[in-house]
Structure 1
Amino acid sequence: MTTVAAAPVELDTDVRPRFPALDAMRAVGALAVVTTHVAFWSGDYGRHGFWGVTLARLDVGVAVFFVLSGFLLSRPYLARAAAGLRRPATRTYLWHRFLRITPVYVVAVVLALSFIHDNRDRSPGGWATTLLMLDTFVAPRPPDGLTQMWSLAVEVCFYLLLPLLMLLATGRRALRPLRVALVLAAMTAVTVWWHLDGADRADGLSGGSPEQWLPGYLTWFAAGIGLALVHVLATRGAPAARRFLAVGRQPGACWTLAGALLLVSSTPLAGPALLIAPTTTESLTKNLLYTVIGLLLVLPAVVADERSGFGRFMGHRLVRRLGLTSYSLFALHLPVLHLVMWLTGWQIFGGHGLQLWLLTMAGSLVAAELGYRLLEVPAMRLKRLVPPPREEPTAATTATNGTSAR
């Protein structure tokens, strides 16, 4: 089993690099999710033939989010293992994740359960279930205005599982690529089994929605973790890893291929677009196609050259701002959509697709900006309440005292 040697490394440049274009990728994912939900409400899924199905497939934005999470959250573990450093502190990591998602989520829940008519009879127990993100485990679907939150529940389950996955993948302070690859293979195997058999078995034992549980989406997170592994190996000079990342230097080719696969997913191979349960094979096919699409979309953003046209666009101030507010956009757009439908008097599946999209997007962007400024930014200032442990010098770090590696 090959082990990556602990080479000298600067923490600020290697273990914690910046990926500014990934902010824009969050915006891509959020805009795709908003668009597919509006298209469903307007009835455009079934009104425009093949292209209507393609609008339905913009739920691939969730795959983009999961690939991003897999990459960004696993990379510190992998980079520190390669450098022979102590693993990130689990307590600090979980505190940061809690601050990142909770304030906006709680506000979205309060808005949806308080003001959306179909939620008016929600019991105190129902409120507690929703606030704890347990709806998909005990109910067929989340409350109105919060149906997108199944994916956030999957994210939270991944957050909780990640420290264990990284312990299995890296051990204590050594990066063995084969060991990481075995963990990724196991994650993929679990997802394949879940789609073919596991979800049906769980459905007979649960009143929830097993098709929306973490095991069904481990492949998307695995793609991000695999990309993080390749990136860490490339920064340490691995030729094969550098050749793989070089593919991302051609964003046009990557995104064109992703678009082609999205069109493939719009065929019957990936199942129906409307609320008809796909077969196990269709469900798995869609999942695997989305895995590759998410990877192809994210890869160019990981290696984006800020001087290139792609890098300049992804790093543009307005695009990055959309990325920074993308979580609030994701969390609040359905309550806004309900509000737009109520104010206009339009009926679900009644058309008005473009107008509905414009009004929902405008209201959601305002709500997202408010959510970011008033909730997300103040919450993240509380990070310092649980600081990371003080870094211990090791033989693998080039600290200011000149300690070198052997």
Structure 2
Amino acid sequence: MSKPKLDLEGYRAVAAIMVVVFHAYQHNRFGEHYRWPLEGTIWHHVLMHSDMLVDMFFVLSGFLLGLPYARAALGETKPKAARAFLLRRAVRLLPLYLVVVLTVWAMSNPMLPGDWRDLVLHLTFTHVWSDDKIFYTVGPAWTLGVEAHFYLLLALLGALAQRHCPPLGSRARRVAAMLAVLAGLAAVSLGYKWWAAYVRGFPTEAWSAWFNPLAKLDVLVCGMLLAVASAAGLRWPNFLARQAVGLLGAAAVAAGVALRYTSVHPTFSHTFFGIGITLVIAATALSKVRGPWWLRWAPLVSLSTVSYSLYLWHEPLLRVLDGRGALPAPGDPWAFPVTAAWLLAVSIPIAYASYHVIEASADRIMGAFDSAGRPREFYTALPPVTPARSPGGRM
């Protein structure tokens, strides 16, 4: 069974760019009532729904990180050690995260002890459970707090799947077991959303109620379902089937957008976004042929490599530029596009530098561990040397 050619780099790069553009747009609210710059135009609605692209990060995590576990649970590959998985994720997540959070926190708290509670929450990834700190220090870091919780969940689910799926015997039973567990997780997440919206009645400003890992779990599950489908061998037979899946995904995203203009709580729109984005990605990831050319376009692929640095650094840089008076005043007709262009022009080079100095350097840490995540023995003692003997048996 051939593995699909994923061609997913373009998606990640586009999502990162749109997050930067949206924060430039958000920065340019003006007036007593904080009016949005393009309010009353179609572009305002487009930008206000760009948060769906953050859901793409969770879908991609569920798919790309769940796929090796799904393959191992189906017996296609050797079992994956949870220790190695968590170590790789820590090496990928922590070095840049710690540098950015500690740098921004130190600049924001020049006098000790400073806001120590905020620092502790961010260093433990528990800021996602705090209404007043979830977007503090580094706003986009809330997604990393959610991701950290998801990594622990994926390691647990992967270990359980690898242990309990093989004894089920047939491939169909293994697939069914994984699908049943994922359906249960989705039901838990949707049940929580229903409780938070209609039973507990949390207000919109109760950010931790809508952006915590439980509220985003259904979106992660969408990516994990795609991982199971890919491991099970699902492939689109032709171009028309791939296009139909992609259009179905676009329709699901449109349904999520339309839901926001109804009385249904907006938290459920992200469920539709997750489904839609998963189908759009599936159109490419499960195709027997290569996807659209732009997904492999060299500049986008390159930008995808540094997208994590771009994602974490751009908001602090926006604040620095604003504090230095380098941005136009909100309310000016050209303030938003100039801010977006200037922010991208500054953030992208810094993202490349950050990637090579911090991320690429941190990746070398994995060289100190074997495939199971155990420290390599670089200084193992050599076996004792046996003295050579002459043919006659004498020294």
Matched, 1:60 2:14: no
Matched, 1:331 2:312: yes
Q: CA deviation at 1:360?
A: 0.8
Matched, 1:188 2:186: yes
Matched, 1:25 2:23: no
Show the counterpart of 1:292: 275
Letter in 1 for 2:8: L
CA contact (8 A) 1:80 1:173 kept: no
Q: CA deviation at 1:293?
A: 2.5
Question: Following the alignment from structure 2 to structure 1, what is the Cα–Cα distance between the partners of residues 118 and 213?
Answer: 22
Q: CA deviation at 1:147?
A: 1.4
Matched, 1:135 2:127: yes
Show the counterpart of 1:102: 94
Question: Following the alignment from structure 1 to structure 2, what is the Cα–Cα distance between the partners of residues 257 and 216?
Answer: 24
Question: Following the alignment from structure 1 to structure 2, what is the Cα–Cα distance between the partners of residues 318 and 285?
Answer: 34
What RMSD over aligned residues (CA atoms) do the two structures have, in Å?
A: 3.3
Q: CA deviation at 1:139?
A: 4.1
**Structure showing the higher helix proportion among its residues:** 1
Q: CA deviation at 1:285?
A: 3.0
Q: Give the alignment's TM-score, normalised by structure 1.
A: 0.77
Q: CA deviation at 1:283?
A: 2.6
Which of 338, 341, 366 lines up with 2:349 in the alignment?
Answer: 366
Matched, 1:115 2:98: no
Which of 314, 332, 353 lines up with 2:295 in the alignment?
Answer: 314
Given the superposition, is the C-alpha separation of residues 130 and 307 from structure 1 closer, same or farther in structure 2, using an over 3 Å criterion?
closer
Show the counterpart of 1:378: 361
Question: Following the alignment from structure 1 to structure 2, what is the Cα–Cα distance between the partners of residues 360 and 120?
Answer: 31
| Bigger radius of gyration among the two | 2
Given the superposition, is the C-alpha separation of residues 313 and 162 from structure 1 closer, same or farther in structure 2, using an over 3 Å criterion?
same
SS of equivalent to 1:344? coil
Letter in 1 for 2:305: L
Show the counterpart of 1:218: 217
CA contact (8 A) 1:87 1:173 kept: no
Question: Following the alignment from structure 1 to structure 2, what is the Cα–Cα distance between the partners of residues 195 and 284?
Answer: 7
Show the counterpart of 1:276: none
CA contact (8 A) 1:170 1:180 kept: no
Q: CA deviation at 1:101?
A: 1.0
Q: Tell me, which stretches of 5 or more residues in structure 1 are unaligned?
A: 1-8, 235-240, 273-278, 391-406
Q: CA deviation at 1:18?
A: 6.3
The CA deviation string for residues 139-178 of structure 1, in whole angstroms up to 9 with x for no partner, is 4233545111111111110001112223444544525111
Letter in 1 for 2:362: A
Letter in 2 for 1:27: A
SS of equivalent to 2:133? coil
Given the superposition, is the C-alpha separation of residues 227 and 368 from structure 1 closer, same or farther in structure 2, using an over 3 Å criterion?
same
Given the superposition, is the C-alpha separation of residues 349 and 102 from structure 1 closer, same or farther in structure 2, using an over 3 Å criterion?
farther
Letter in 1 for 2:210: E
Question: Following the alignment from structure 2 to structure 1, what is the Cα–Cα distance between the partners of residues 287 and 318?
Answer: 34
Given the superposition, is the C-alpha separation of residues 191 and 329 from structure 1 closer, same or farther in structure 2, using an over 3 Å criterion?
same
Q: CA deviation at 1:317?
A: 2.2
Question: Following the alignment from structure 1 to structure 2, what is the Cα–Cα distance between the partners of residues 384 and 54?
Answer: 44
Q: CA deviation at 1:326?
A: 0.6
Question: Following the alignment from structure 1 to structure 2, what is the Cα–Cα distance between the partners of residues 208 and 300?
Answer: 33
Letter in 2 for 1:362: A
Question: Following the alignment from structure 2 to structure 1, what is the Cα–Cα distance between the partners of residues 213 and 339?
Answer: 32
Given the superposition, is the C-alpha separation of residues 70 and 143 from structure 1 closer, same or farther in structure 2, using an over 3 Å criterion?
closer
Given the superposition, is the C-alpha separation of residues 389 and 126 from structure 1 closer, same or farther in structure 2, using an over 3 Å criterion?
closer
* Count of aligned pairs: 356
Letter in 2 for 1:158: F
SS of equivalent to 2:139? coil
Given the superposition, is the C-alpha separation of residues 40 and 166 from structure 1 closer, same or farther in structure 2, using an over 3 Å criterion?
same
CA contact (8 A) 1:75 1:228 kept: yes
Identity of aligned residues (%): 24
Given the superposition, is the C-alpha separation of residues 297 and 32 from structure 1 closer, same or farther in structure 2, using an over 3 Å criterion?
farther
Q: Give the alignment's TM-score, normalised by structure 2.
A: 0.79
Show the counterpart of 1:237: none
Letter in 2 for 1:225: M
Show the counterpart of 1:270: 260
Show the counterpart of 2:143: 151
Show the counterpart of 2:326: 344
Letter in 1 for 2:26: F
Letter in 1 for 2:22: T
Show the counterpart of 1:34: 20
CA contact (8 A) 1:118 1:144 kept: no
Q: CA deviation at 1:112?
A: 2.2
